[in-house]
Amino acid sequence: MGKVQHYVEAAKNDLRTDHTWNKLGNLTKRGAKALPEASLHYVKEKAPIIGWLPKYDYRWLINDGIAGLTLGLMLIPQGLSYAKIAEIPVEYGLMSSWLPASIYTVMGTTKDLSTGPTSLIGLLTSEGVHELEHKYPPSQIASAMAFWMGVYGMILGFLNLGFLLEFVSLPVLAGWITAVAITIILNQMPSLLGIKGVGSGAAQQIHDIFAKLPKAGGWTCLIGFSGILFMTILEKAGARWSAKSKIVWFFSITRAFSTLVLFTGISYAVNSPRGSPKNFLFEATQVTANGQEAPSIPPPDLIAETAMKSIALFIGAAVEHGAIARAFGVKNDYVPDQTQELCYFGVTNFFNSFFHAMGVGGAMSRTSVNSQCNVKSPLSGVVTTAVVLISIYFLVPALYWIPKATLAAIIITAVWNLIHPPSHFYHFWKTSLADFISSMLALWVALFVDAEIGIAVAVGFNIIYCLLRQTFARITASKVPKRSELARSIDADRDRDAYGGEDRTRDVHVFRFTDSFFFPNSYATTVAILDSVQTYHAPAYDGAHGPESRKGRNWSVVAEQRIKRLRKSAGVLDQSALPPIGLVVLDFTRVNHADSTACTHLQNLVKEVRRYGGSRVEVRFVGMSPYVRERFVRYGWKMADDGDAWKGAGDESAVTHVYESVPAAVLSPRRSPVITEGTDIRIDSSEDPEKARAMHAQRSSSPDELGGEKRRDN
């Protein structure tokens, strides 16, 4: 008994003195204490409507109502058309379109993004339908693939693993989407021309289309090409006169719906007296559905068979969705939450799959129209849902008469803008051979072999290229500087006033890259830089919502909440004392490689920084190697050396100056006066935000060490 008591006491003593147990206990206590607040924050983060709805301005209802109605009218023809691309009954395109808009009202972080069926999702879904249609109904196959899109999206979104999608570089995406668009057009040519017996595969389709062209149906061609001409006229009229006439503008942005109504009416007038569909002058869709079908789960066996087939579908749709959200956030001065967008993408596809829906995602054409409607918030999605549901329950009988050629015309006009011109790929050629090769692999393999294989080969090439660059890293040698030059350099570094005093550095922020700057890390790096600028510097405008606050409060509170969290985490308590941002210095000394994706993201970063700090903000580069600088110049950056005037065409303000050292970049005269209000310079690594905050806290707490920090960083 005594031994047992001894062991018990020893165990208690170990528990009291064991470092790991004590650390675990402290973490548990802190976690339990923070759990209520963290849970509330998590709910608010996953349901952004909680943040913006209380601030909603009732005057926005008109804009949101018009935008929601317009998108609903667009979704009717597009939903039908993209279901046709997926080779499922077209009515399922409508059934796929009503729920996403409502969920986005609750979970969305952009005001512009419109989600629903897309041409890209339709094509990739059709490949799964082709393989499994002998065993399962096409609509069930599409729903099972949407189910997996939801599962993958929720895994990456809720676990914050969205960075994995960055391995799909912009050149790969450009080549792949171009191939997808061409494939979609080729698939629609038989319906547009009224010909039968066209094979599969781009090469075979091109051969068969030209071989069977003499057998094309005259009435079908008339309907199809008239639809294309009608939509083109409306588009051109809108581009020319929409600013003067709201009627022209409305018919221009709803041209697909107008075309659908017009030619469906023609089809009914011409074909209904002919009785049997065999006697129709041209083929109609013959939709016979009756409202939304009852929800159900796809068969378990089918779910298992579509797991791997849905990966490429998910990657393509998720990357497209995120890119559209970022693009319109930049355009309209708000900050979308990429992780939350991925969560929404997963949740929507998961639950939408139970309603016999195909996969959904962001659509560029509808998002652009939504923005043109001056939509104010995601609340427009409620109206969109209502319009689509009305069409499902009350307009399906009219859809019976839609000409197949008209749907083909709508599809072709919707996707031809997705084809990147040759100049776009030549731009990759000038910037980076590796970018050009990856884009060509994605384009030609996806076009002539398979879309899934195309993106896999291109991404695989990028990964191998990255590994080879690390394996066969190159070094450069240079002569040792003369002693007098070296001595002067050391003396300058030891000078506590090397930067010219505090007044010269209060509106300066210096970032030092620690590795190559290319597609896997470029987006995360630029986000970290922007976060640091917004954390330690005040904006040029009044409020945290962006420049739109000058014209009227922006609906989005995502940026405001994010900046508050960043400043709280960094220990920035007195936000009124923050200096403005006047100069951003990017140190490329350790960067030995850059690509087109990095150049694009850095270009967007410069726009974001100037939007935040005002047009007077300058961005300067330091220590660029000839190789990296050549990449930027070939991409299209205008660059001039320290002290040299820009000799090319264009505005001097668009020129980025390159310096040999950070002190030179900081001290050189600026285009605008130096801002002298605020605190000291902050030099940190964009790769390590935690280190940045620690360095900032150290400088703030010990002014005497500021000079030493500057010396060590330079």
pLDDT tens-digit profile of 455-481?
Answer: 889 989 988 988 887 666 554 444 344
Question: Average of pLDDT values for 611-615?
Answer: 86
- What's the pLDDT at 503? 52
Question: Average of pLDDT values for 105-109?
Answer: 92
For 426, residues 6+ apart whose C-beta sits below 8 A from its C-beta are none
333-342, 355-364, 693-702: least confidently modelled range? 693-702
Which residue(s) pair with 594 in the sheet?
A: 517
pLDDT of 303 higher than 80: yes
Average pLDDT, the chain: 81
pLDDT of 498 higher than 60: no
- What's the pLDDT at 648? 58
* Distance separating alpha carbons of residues 185 and 212, to the nearest angstrom: 17
- What's the pLDDT at 552? 46
- What's the pLDDT at 645? 62
- Tell me how far apart the terminal alpha carbons of the chain are, to the nearest angstrom: 68
- What's the pLDDT at 106? 92
pLDDT band at 673; cut points 50, 70, 90: low
* Distance separating alpha carbons of residues 246 and 440, to the nearest angstrom: 42
Question: Average of pLDDT values for 208-216?
Answer: 90
pLDDT of 595 higher than 50: yes
- What's the pLDDT at 182? 92
- What's the pLDDT at 482? 42
Question: Average of pLDDT values for 113-140?
Answer: 91
411-415, 534-538, 699-703: least confidently modelled range? 699-703
pLDDT band at 1; cut points 50, 70, 90: low
The sign one gets for the Cα dihedral 630, 631, 634, 639 is negative
CB 667 within 8 A of CB 500: yes
- What's the pLDDT at 5? 74
- What's the pLDDT at 160? 83
pLDDT band at 437; cut points 50, 70, 90: very high
Q: Check residues 551 and 536 and name the one with the higher pLDDT.
A: 536
Question: Average of pLDDT values for 679-701?
Answer: 39
- What's the pLDDT at 632? 92
Q: Strand 682-684 vs strand 508-512: parallel, antiparallel, or unpaired?
A: parallel
Q: What is the three-class DSSP state of 284?
A: strand
247-261, 367-381, 580-594, 638-652: least confidently modelled range? 638-652
CB 167 within 8 A of CB 357: no
pLDDT of 119 higher than 50: yes
- What's the pLDDT at 74? 87
- What's the pLDDT at 209? 92
129-143, 394-408, 579-593: least confidently modelled range? 394-408
pLDDT tens digits along 350-363: 999 999 999 999 98
Question: Average of pLDDT values for 335-347?
Answer: 90
pTM of structure: 0.74
User: What count of Cα atoms within 13 Å lies in the side-chain half-sphere of residue 279?
Assistant: 8
pLDDT of 148 higher than 90: yes
pLDDT band at 650; cut points 50, 70, 90: low
pLDDT of 501 higher than 60: no
Tokens representing 404 are 């197949």
Domains in the chain, start-ordered, CATH in brackets? 1-36 (no CATH), 51-462 (no CATH), 476-483+505-540+558-667 (3.30.750.24)
What phi and psi values does residue 600 have, to the nearest 5 degrees? -65, -45
pLDDT of 714 higher than 70: no
Q: Strand 583-587 vs strand 361-362: parallel, antiparallel, or unpaired?
A: unpaired
What phi and psi values does residue 641 have, to the nearest 5 degrees? -75, 165
Q: Which residue has the tokens 């806290």?
A: 697
H or E segment and range at residue 656: strand 656-659
pLDDT tens digits along 3-48: 667 677 777 776 677 777 777 777 777 777 777 777 777 777 788 8
120-129, 220-229, 537-546, 666-675: least confidently modelled range? 537-546
| Percentage of the chain exceeding pLDDT 70 | 83
Tokens representing 344 are 């929404």
